[in-house]
Every structure is written in C-alpha cells, then in structure tokens.
Amino acid sequence: MENNHTLQSLLRDSFIKYSSEPAIGFVDGKVWTYSELQSKVEAQLFRLAQTGIKPGDKVAIVGASSPNWVVAYFSILCHGAIAVPVLPDFTAQEIENVLLHSEATMIFVSEKLHTKITETVFQKVEHFVLIENLGAIPKELETSQLKQVEAFQGIGSKEIASEVMPDDLASIIYTSGTTGGSKGVMLSHKNLYTNIQQCAKVEPLGKGEVFLSILPLSHTLENTVGLLLPIAFGAFVNYLDRPPTASVLVPALKKVKPTYLLSVPLVIEKIYKLQIKAKFNRSPVVRRLYRIPLIRKKLHRIAGKRLYETFGGRLKFFGIGGAKLDASTERFLSEAGFPYAIGYGLTETAPFVAGDGVKYTRFQSTGRPVDNVEMKIHKPDKETGEGEIWVRGDNIMQGYYKEPELTSQVLTKDRWFRTGDLGFLDKENYLYIKGRLKNVIVGSSGENIYPEEIESVINRFSHVLESVVVDRDGKLVALVHFNFEEIEKQLHHMKDEAKKNLEERTEELVRELHAFVNHRVNNFSKLQTVVAHTDPFEKTATKKIKRYIYK
C-alpha cells in the first residue's frame, strides 16, 4: 500500500496487485475479480462526474449489503465524495433525518428500502440510483415500477478521479446507539486507513483468505474490518442475498467455507443457548453431568468440533465485536477450542482500539490496545482501577457532523476521545469492560451498580435468552426474555400428570431466577423484581438492546 494514507490509493493498489484474484460476490451468484470490480467502480466514477457530483459532496447508500453496495461505496471514496451509509433497519423517519441532516445530493437505494424514502427527501434530492442494477431511477417512478429501471451500462475512465488527501472526509456514519438519537460520525481517509493497518497487525491476512459477510456494511465494524481490510490484502468477500437466518446461513457456511468471519455477540450466544446448551439441558442425567467441570469441558470439546464443521471446517478467525460477550458463551468457545477473538471499539474510533489474535485471547477481556493507539483509564477508582476509557490516535474521528458542542463533550483539546465506557487495564495491559457510563445505576448508599454485570449472571440461568436490568423508582428490576419455545418443548415431553401450563412454568422460572441471581451478586446489586418479557427486546444494528426504551 502507498503511504499517502487514503482509501483511494489503497483501492488502486489492490486493483493492480490482485487483479486476477476473486474479490467479491454473492454466495450463489457471480464472483467478480479485483479487475472486474475496478471496472465497475470506474464506471460509477464516470457517472458521478457526469451527474455533477463533486469531491466533498455527500452520497448516501440505503440498502442491505451486496456487491453493488460495495461498488457504490468504493466509487464515492475514489471520487473524493463523502459516503453516507444508512442502516437498513432505520425507520423511514430516521432515514429521512439522516439524508436531510447529511445534505445528501445523490442516493443509491435498494428496491426493498425505496418505500422508506419520504416525499420530503424526493423533493430535496435530485439523483437516485437502484442498487440492484445501478440504473438511474426517475424521481416520479413508484416503488412498484422499479422493475422497469434499466441497468446501468456505462463504461469508466481512469482519468476523472481527483486526488484525495488523508484528512479529507471519507464517510459520515450515523450511529444507532443504545441510549437514543443518532449522531453523524465523521471519519477521514486517514482514520480508516490507519485502522486497517492496526487490524492487520492484530491478525495478519492475505491473498486467498475467504470472508463471509453477515453484518450490515453500513456499520463501522463490517465496513472497516469486514470489507476494507480484506480488500486491502487481496481476500475474497462473500455476501448473502437475504437476512442471515439459520436456514440461509448454514448452507452458505457449507458452500463458502470461510476462513474469516465477523459477528456480534448475539449470534454466537443464540447458537450456544438454543442449540448447544439446550441439548445438554433436555436430559436430567446430562444436565447433572454438565455441572461437573471435567465432563463439561469434554462435552464442550465435542460440541465445538461439530460447530466448527458447521462453520465450514476452515475457520481461522471468528471475530466478535459490538458488545460484551456473555461469560457462559465465551467459556464454551474457550473450552471447545473454537478460534475466536474479541475486539473493542466504537464508530468514533473507526472502530477498532483494542483486541488480540486468536492465540492471545484472554477470558472476558477485549484484548490489548492496538498498535499506535494510546489508552488510559481516566480517574480510576483507587480500589478497583475502574474508570472511563480514554483513547487517542490517528483512527479517532474528526467529530460529529454539524454538532460542535457534542464533539467538544467527547473530544478533549489534546484529542483524547472519551469513550463513555467503563473498564480497567490489568498488569499486562489487557482491557476489561465493565459497562457504559450512562448505564451505571447509583445505589442508595452511592455504590456504582453495573447492570451489564447483573445481566451476565441472569443470562447464565437456564432458558434465559436475554435480559435488561433497569432502575425503577430506586429499585433494581430485571426484564427477562425466556426461551419460551424450549420451555414448551420440555412441558410437551413431561408425563401428562406432571404437565404445567406455560404461564405457571414461567412464574416458577421467575422465582427460581430471582433466587439464583440474588445468591450470586453483592448486596447492593440484588434484584427487587424479575419481570418476564414476552417479546425479544428492540436492538441496534449490532444487536445491542436499546436500553433507553425500557428505562
């Protein structure tokens, strides 16, 4: 890679160096080489220039991950325009807010999400492109008529792109936080370029590696680590043409046999709780044996080998980020010998600031600070060493778009970024996350109560899928979503005279869980009430629960 620290130069280098290698494609679709990807990007570059899009203009992408999403994104970066990736899960109102706030002048939109583009946006924005075939969409065309859009047939020119500088803005990514409204995080070419290099030093990769993408490209984790990183080093990225449900993901894993895979905790937590732990719990005999550490480890090793084969049998790196991993799930991965690693970062840090390769993973730690990132614990507690995590480096954002006051609240004058996360560093510089500063509940005697830690205990209990601990009128309340499907199965297999209806069994589980948790937490973290929550909790793009809804 050249040393001018821009994504434009990075892409140019990769297109030349890996021209005949496979670059991207749908799992069951045509695969494009780096040379073919280059041609498609250059064609869009020509279109951007012809359309009147200038360097510095904002161009939005509203759609699920796909090869054409990548083409749109790369062409925007190479043109010197600013990409505005929009999370597909945003509501129509949220999408409108992002598009208007960012002042997008052109929008690449998928057929599925075209209905979320409001009339206000149609009046403001002049140019629309259909992601499925990159054809221009006439503004008066209804969603039902999108099949009429002619595919883009243009050819490109290598001479039209203006030179991009490292500090030029590459992307504005609007977060969907667990605590409320979205903010436009401004990431420069240098920010993203730097983070790619930092990632590569943690887990080196190269030509011939195979990625399967299951997270949205509009999220920074997948965008940097799941796209820019593999493209920088000649790897091959595969995309799904529908959401990654089990029925879609399992055959895709079998076909692609990925060597690298990125995930959020919820994905692997569900696999462990619904498929592995649930099987151990079905038989009373196995359930008792499972409590014996030596036997549990052997069972985990057997289950881990099967899971590894399910993932295609070639996995070198299963990267987990976006939220804290449940301790019981991580214990399974560790004892199973599964090649997992945990990283820590935020959209504002492009995103990676701490993490280690598979060989250096340490239980419940997010790893050590990455290369060229300064990290410190601000005002650590004298006894625990816990405090707010502050970081500084070339991967830290430029600020929040059009929000100077919000920017000044999180970026100090000497460029330390206040993450809002609480944690501590051990003697070997491994980072341990305690929770979000905004989530901390102050007890009646001034104690700091970390809801995430109580939730970690709750989530170890049988039949619990997920939980949220909140403070309601000075009382700790746990909202718990049980695995009702598994409970019903257990009731079904009981003898008729021993059957209980689901409601009675749930009430029983609530009482058992209450006692289970309060026996394992300190006095000021004991729960006052446990409430069964029927539906899954609403989540962000990285599957973190939107806590502000339930407070």
- pTM (2 d.p.): 0.89
- DSSP label at residue 151: P
Identify the structural domains of the chain with CATH numbers, from first to last: 7-239 (3.40.50.12780), 441-549 (3.30.300.30)
The number of C-alpha atoms within 13 Å of 325 and in the hemisphere containing its C-beta is 33
- DSSP label at residue 10: H
> Which residues are bridge partners to 375 per DSSP?
391
Beta-carbon contacts of residue 63 (< 8 Å; ≥ 6 apart): 69, 88, 108, 109, 110, 112, 113, 131
HEC assignment per residue over 195-219: HHHHHHHHCCCCCCCEEEECCCCCC
> Which H helix or E strand runs over 389?
strand 387-392
In the prediction, which pLDDT does 206 show?
83
In the prediction, which pLDDT does 114 show?
96
> Which H helix or E strand runs over 189?
helix 189-202
- DSSP label at residue 539: B
Residue 123 amino acid letter: Q
Note the helical H segments in 233-292. 246-256, 265-270, 278-282, 284-290
State the helix-helix crossing angle for 484-493 and 502-518, rounded to 10 degrees.
Answer: 120
Question: How big is the CA angle at 522 (ends 520 and 526), to the nearest 5 degrees?
Answer: 80
In the prediction, which pLDDT does 428 show?
97
In the prediction, which pLDDT does 500 show?
57
pLDDT block averages, 10 residues each, the chain of length 551: 79 96 96 97 93 96 98 97 94 92 97 95 95 92 88 74 91 73 91 97 92 95 97 98 92 97 92 88 87 94 96 97 89 97 96 96 96 97 94 98 95 97 96 91 81 91 91 92 80 53 85 94 92 90 82 79
In the prediction, which pLDDT does 365 show?
97
- Residue 404: is the preceding peptide bond cis (ω within 30°)? no
In the prediction, which pLDDT does 178 show?
46
Residue 392 DSSP SS3: strand
Nearest to 391 by CA among 215, 225, 191: 191
In the prediction, which pLDDT does 505 show?
84
Residue 232 DSSP SS3: helix
